[in-house]
């Protein structure tokens, strides 16, 4: 009897664990533009959303709490990497908080639960990270802008780079969720050699011993892996511990080698090549100002997530200024967003027909930072003015 009750309680326990924890933080101002930011601040991937938010808030504080001349009321909510709770938050933001626009989602599975619904209901959504292929092609929407990238892009750049370097047999790994599939599809679009194997692991997996053993047995000449956040830390560390670091080179997107990730991995990550639309040592005025300003405000190095938050805020600012802070002029606001009239820290940045960026992609290398810790250094450019593969399917 006792055991039975315990089991019932356990089920409740499991349900709670799989449930959610949403912590809300909001700021108040008079008659401001209300921006609803749903992002991932908890779980192992919490620092992704935290960096993005810091970048976004840096842009606001550089303009004394305003964007485009209007006061900003930024409402930030944590989705806990749970699509269902992000959806609840989105509904609340739309129906009871009446936000003017929404932004912030990091993960594509979360984005897929929220974005199609809110843009259908007329809300303008500006993505600061997730760029699932499903929203870039035939299902593109005039209310949906992606200020980061289309998911495949950064992986396509690495596919091209690995192809150019002459590798013939590559082993691929990614988590089993929409962005993981986009990642490997993107890589394979430009890499033309043999695939040793293609492995999808559970999202959030912590131990990769089994995958690494199978990988070694397949004898590839290079490995491409897409593991953002804590998954990447675990994978790279375990890969080095298995003695493979000097045997088979690792390649990945910048998500597998962001500034915090390489700091946490340490020496094991040095020399790893990764592709990105930005690098901390990029030679343009906007980027230099951003890196210095970010360090001054937070005492930390910005990552690509910070860049995307910062650029999205400045993009929003450019459009608010174009409509003179009157958010009821939706058509004008959308048209102004589409012009992308702001100076991106990434240099080249404009929107394509499907409201996804047309931008440049680079290869970077993980190096020890002379100021302590580890960072990325620019190696070369892979694509200029790169257009995503789905743009032609979009009828806008």
Partner 1 sequence: MLLFLEQLLNGLQFGVTLLLMASGLTLIFGIMNLINLAHGSLFMVGAYVGATAIAHGSGFFLGLLAGVAAAALTGMVMEFVIMRRLYRRDHLDQVLATFGLILFFNEMVSIIWGRQPIAMDPPAFLSGTVEIIPGAPYPAFRLAVIATGILVTGFLYFLVMKTRIGMWIRAGASNREMIGALGVNISLLYTLLFGFGAALAGLAGVMAAPFSAVQSGMGENILILTFVVIVIGGIGSIRGAVAGALLIGLTDTLGRVYIPDLMRLWLPPSVADGAGASLASMMIYILMAVALAFRPRGLFQTHG
Residues that bind partner 1 (CB under 8 A): 1-3, 5-10, 12-14, 16-18, 21, 23, 41-44, 46-47, 50, 176, 181, 198-202, 204, 206-207, 209-211, 213-214, 216-217, 229-230, 233-234, 237-238, 241-243, 260-261, 263-267, 300
Q: How far is the CB of 239 from partner 1 (least distance, A)?
A: 10
| In the complex, least distance from residue 63 CB atom to partner 1, rounded to whole angstroms | 25
Cβ closest to partner 1, residue 217 vs residue 296 = 217
Distance between CA atoms of 50 and 259, rounded to whole angstroms?
13
Residue 237 CB, nearest approach to partner 1 (Å): 6
- Residue pair 336/319 in contact by the 8 Å Cβ criterion: yes
Question: Residue 178 CB, nearest distance to partner 1 (Å)?
Answer: 11
Q: Which residues contact 355 (CB under 8 A, 6 or more apart)?
A: 140, 141, 142, 144, 145, 146, 337, 338, 396
User: Is the CB of 202 or the CB of 381 nearer to partner 1?
Assistant: 202
- To the nearest whole angstrom, how small is the minimum distance from the Cβ of residue 223 to partner 1? 16
For residues 252 and 276, give the distance between their C-alpha atoms in angstroms, rounded to a whole number: 10
Q: Other C-beta atoms within 10 Å of 302: how many?
A: 25
> Which of residues 325 and 373 has its CB atom nearest to partner 1 in the complex?
373
Beta-sheet strands, E only, within 215-344: 222-225, 250-253, 273-276
The answer to whether 104 and 133 have CB atoms below 8 angstroms apart is no
By beta-carbon proximity to partner 1, the closer residue of 121 and 267 is 267
From CA 199, how far away is CA 215, in angstroms rounded? 9
Nearer to partner 1, 53 or 356 (CB): 53
DSSP, res 344: -
- Rounded CA separation 317/360 (Å): 23
Burial class, 353, CB count within 10 angstroms (exposed 0-12 / middle 13-18 / buried 19+): middle
- Nearer Cβ to partner 1 (234/314): 234
We find the least distance from the C-beta atom of residue 4 to partner 1, in angstroms, to be 8
């Amino acid at each position: 009897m006792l055991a039975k009750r315990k089991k019932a309680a356990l089920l409740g326990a499991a349900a709670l664990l799989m449930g959610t924890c949403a912590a809300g933080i909001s700021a108040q101002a008079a008659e401001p533009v209300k921006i609803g930011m749903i992002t991932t601040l908890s779980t192992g991937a919490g620092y992704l959303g935290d960096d993005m938010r810091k970048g976004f808030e840096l842009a606001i504080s550089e303009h004394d709490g305003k964007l485009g001349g209007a006061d900003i009321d930024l409402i930030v909510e944590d989705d806990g990497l749970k699509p269902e709770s992000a959806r609840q938050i989105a509904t609340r933001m739309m129906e009871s908080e009446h936000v003017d626009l929404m932004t912030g989602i990091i993960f594509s599975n979360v984005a897929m639960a929220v974005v199609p619904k809110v843009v259908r209901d007329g809300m303008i959504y500006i993505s600061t990270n997730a760029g699932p292929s499903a929203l870039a092609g035939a299902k593109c929407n005039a209310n949906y802008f992606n200020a980061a990238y289309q998911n495949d892009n950064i992986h396509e750049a690495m596919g091209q780079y690995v192809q150019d370097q002459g590798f013939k047999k590559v082993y691929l790994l990614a988590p089993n969720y929409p962005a993981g599939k986009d990642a490997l599809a993107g890589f394979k679009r430009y890499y033309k050699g043999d695939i040793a194997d293609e492995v999808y692991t559970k999202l959030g997996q912590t131990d990769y011993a089994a995958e690494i053993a199978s990988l070694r047995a397949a004898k590839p000449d290079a490995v491409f892996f897409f593991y953002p956040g804590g998954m990447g830390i675990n994978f790279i560390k375990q890969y080095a511990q298995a003695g493979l670091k000097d045997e088979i080179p690792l390649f990945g997107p910048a998500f597998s080698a962001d500034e915090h990730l390489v700091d946490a991995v340490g020496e094991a990550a040095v020399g790893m090549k990764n592709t990105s639309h930005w690098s901390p040592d990029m030679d343009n005025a906007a980027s230099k100002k951003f890196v210095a300003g970010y360090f001054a405000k937070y005492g930390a190095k910005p990552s690509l997530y910070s860049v995307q938050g910062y650029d999205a805020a400045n993009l929003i600012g450019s459009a608010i200024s174009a409509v003179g802070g009157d958010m009821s002029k939706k058509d004008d606001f959308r048209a102004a967003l589409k012009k992308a009239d702001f100076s991106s820290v990434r240099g080249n940045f404009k929107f394509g027909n499907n409201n996804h960026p047309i931008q440049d992609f680079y290869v970077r290398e993980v190096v020890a930072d002379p100021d302590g810790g580890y960072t990325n250094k620019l190696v070369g450019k892979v694509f200029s003015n790169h257009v995503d593969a789905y743009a032609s399917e979009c009828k806008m």
